[in-house]
Amino acid sequence: MHQSLIYYFLMQQTELIKGTLQTIILKLLSDHSRMYGYEITQKVREMSGGELVLTEGALYPTLHKLVAEGYLSTETENIGKRVRKYYKLTSHGNTTAVNKVDEFVDFVRVMSQILQINPQTS
């Protein structure tokens, strides 16, 4: 099977991918109580079987944006010799996470119909 890598780069993202990045982060955080930046990149890589690479340039601006918009909150913890910053969902972020995932599922369903893709039989 042909394996393609999808990179999340900074800036050059289309609106579509930008939107999905937020959804991915929100969904990950709704499944795990709290995560730090590096952990998120690793998790995404692991879950996608290495197909999706989240660059720092895409991740951190988005995380900070979500914080500024009130979906996420942060807490810092001293881990031995340095500080680590964890992100978690606020209650507002929680509902948004559910909505965004629903929205995305709908979107994929509709797009599949239009583009006549049957995900099951590929």
Partner 1 sequence: MELKKSQIDYIIADLNRRGLVYQPLQEELADHVCTTVEEKMEEGMRFMEAYRATLTLFGHEGDIEDIQQQTFYNTSSNKLAMINNYLKISYRNLVKQRFYSLINIAGLSIGLCCTILIALFVADELSYDRHHEKAGRIYRVATHLRFGGNDSHLAVCPAPFAEALMSEIPEVEVATRFRNWGTFLVKREAENFNENRVIWADPQVFRVFTIPLLSGDTGTVLTEPNTMAVSESVARKFFGEEDPLNQTLILNNHMNYKITGVYRNIPKNSHFHFDILLAMTGLDQSMDQLWLSNNFHTYFVMRPDADPEEVEGKINEMFISHAGPQVQDIMGKTYEQLMSEGVKAEMYLQALPDIHLKSDIDEEFEANGDIRYVYLFTAIALFILILAIVNFMNLATARSADRAREVGIRKVLGSLRSYIVRQFLTESVLVTAISILLAIVLTSTILPYFNRLAGKSIVMPFWDPVFWGFILVSGLLVGFLAGIYPAFFLSSFKPVTILQGKLSKGSRSSLLRSVLVVFQFSISIILIIGTAAVYNQLNFIQNKKLGFNKDQVIILEDTYVLGNQINAFRDELVRDPRILSGTVSSFLPVTNSARSNTTFWKEADKTLENSVNMQRWNVDHDYMKTMGLELVIGRFFSHEFPSDSGAVVLNERAAKQFGFDDPVGEEIYTFKFHPDNSVKEDEYERFRIVGVVKDFHFESIRENIGALSMMLSPSTGRISFKFDASEVSQVINLIQTQWKNMAPGEPLNYTFLDEDFGRMYQAEKKTGQLFSVFAVLAVIIASLGLFALAAFMAEQRTKEIGVRKVMGATMGNIMFLLSKDFGKLVIIAFLISVPVAWYGIRAWLQGFAYKDIPGVILYMGAGLVALVLAWLTVSYQSYRAASANPAQSLRDE
Q: Using CA atoms, how far apart are residues 65 and 109, in angstroms rounded to an integer?
A: 28
Judged by beta carbon, residue 69 or residue 103, the one nearer partner 1 is 69
Size of residue set near partner 1 by CB under 8 A: 21
Residue 88: in which H helix or E strand, if any? strand 82-89
Pairing of strands 6-8, 52-54: parallel
Nearest to 44 by CA among 3, 93, 7: 7
Judged by beta carbon, residue 65 or residue 109, the one nearer partner 1 is 65
Say how many C-beta atoms besides its own lie within 10 A of residue 15's C-beta. 7
Q: Is 24 helix (H, G, I), strand (E, B) or coil?
A: helix
Among 5, 83, 114, 115, binds partner 1 (CB under 8 A): 83
Q: Considering the rule CB under 8 A, would residue 92 count as an interface residue with partner 1?
A: no
Among 46, 51, 64, 109, binds partner 1 (CB under 8 A): 64
Q: Using CA atoms, how far apart are residues 69 and 67, in angstroms rounded to an integer?
A: 5
For the CB of residue 64, give the shortest distance to partner 1 in the complex, in Å. 5
x/- string (CB under 8 A) for partner 1, residues 4-43? ------xx------------------------xxx-----
Q: Which amino acid is at 53?
A: V
Q: Which residues bind partner 1 (CB under 8 A)?
A: 10-11, 36-38, 56-57, 60-62, 64-65, 67-68, 76, 80-85
